[in-house]
Amino acid sequence: MSWLSNVRNAIGGFVPGAKTQGADTLWHKCKGCGTMVFNKELEDNQFVCPNCDHHERIGPKQRFAYLLDEGSTEVLAPPRAAEDPLKFRDSKRYADRLKAARASTGEQDAFVNARGTIHGQRVVIGVQDFAFMGGSMGQAVGEAFVQGVEAAIKDRAPFIVFTASGGARMQEGILSLMQMPRSTVAIQLLHDAGLPYIVVLTDPTSGGVMAAYAMLGDVQIAEPKATLAFTGRRVIENTIREKLPEDFQTSEYYLEHGLIDMVVHRRELRDRLATVIGYLCGERRAA
């Protein structure tokens, strides 16, 4: 009998293969080191592995809870956007994929905004949820991004965006790609209003999102060891006919080559963002 079986038996109530709390929600296998970690321990550590520091992917609810001051969070209602404009179907209907993603995540689409404060400083935060169809960028994501910008301008607050995406949503074709210039224009509106746009790149950020609002921040931050890419390693290697470094397309590689400003551990991110906001907005607030 393995040590894991001994621990499970000692806890009691564990039935192999049964749909119980002990079987489904007690343990988590780290994707970084393969260690089995108690879910409660992982949650208390902001979903960072206590053994190898691997940062697990998290959604909007966890981001808001970890970053915003207690009691200050106001999640914005999702904006309306056309659904399935192309009546797209591959192995499944796009409408069915949307329905399944909403059921599994509890969100309307892959981008959620919230108002709140960080150490008393007003902010608007937009979070991309990779669990919702790979965080893909469609019309609803574009509308939500613009909504976040408009809320930040109304509140005279910085707009902080957490990216996590595989790129544009193929089921919406050219309409998804149109969100790239839309988001760029929205960011310019923030600049015209004299407000900062801060980007936190998380694992993974790629494709059309990487080519658009993910790399247009006034300050570019990334979580450790996040995969950051416009296109895949194999495509690049086949194009340039060279072997890429092992750490290519990671947060650390981007930092070393001057593409981002800092790599920040998730536990330190709240305080670091507060410091950055203080630098960027402190003088204006005092005035």
| Mean pLDDT for the chain overall | 91
Check: CB of residue 122 under 8 Å from CB of residue 69.
no
- CB count within 10 Å of CB 72 equals 15
Check: CB of residue 91 under 8 Å from CB of residue 125.
no
In the structure, how many helices (H) and strands (E) does the chain have?
A: 12, 10
CA proximity to 272, closest of 58, 119, 69: 119
Check: CB of residue 250 under 8 Å from CB of residue 225.
yes
Torsion, Cα of 58, 62, 66, 67 (10° steps): 90
- Is residue 6 within a helix (H) or strand (E), and if so which, with residue range? helix 3-11
- CB count within 10 Å of CB 194 equals 10
- DSSP secondary structure letters along 219-238: EEEE-TT-BEESS-HHHHHH
pLDDT at 6: 55
74 DSSP β-pair partners: 115
What size, in residues, is the chain? 287
pLDDT at 12: 43
- CB count within 10 Å of CB 193 equals 12
Q: How confident is the model at residue 105 (pLDDT cuts 50, 70, 90)?
A: very high
Q: State the Cα–Cα distance between residues 136 and 164, nearest whole angstrom.
A: 9
Q: pLDDT tens-digit profile of 193-246?
A: 999 999 999 999 999 999 999 999 999 999 999 999 999 889 999 999 999 998
Check: CB of residue 41 under 8 Å from CB of residue 50.
yes
Task: With both helix axes pointing from N to C terminus, report the angle between 266-286 and 60-67 in degrees, rounded to the nearest 10.
Answer: 60
Q: pLDDT tens-digit profile of 198-212?
A: 999 999 999 999 999
pLDDT at 284: 52
pLDDT at 250: 97
The average pLDDT across 102-117 equals 98
Longest Cα pair distance anywhere in the chain, in angstroms? 68
Torsion, Cα of 177, 228, 202, 180 (10° steps): -20
Q: pLDDT tens-digit profile of 130-174?
A: 999 999 999 999 999 999 999 999 999 999 999 999 999 999 999
Q: How confident is the model at residue 36 (pLDDT cuts 50, 70, 90)?
A: very high
pLDDT at 15: 39
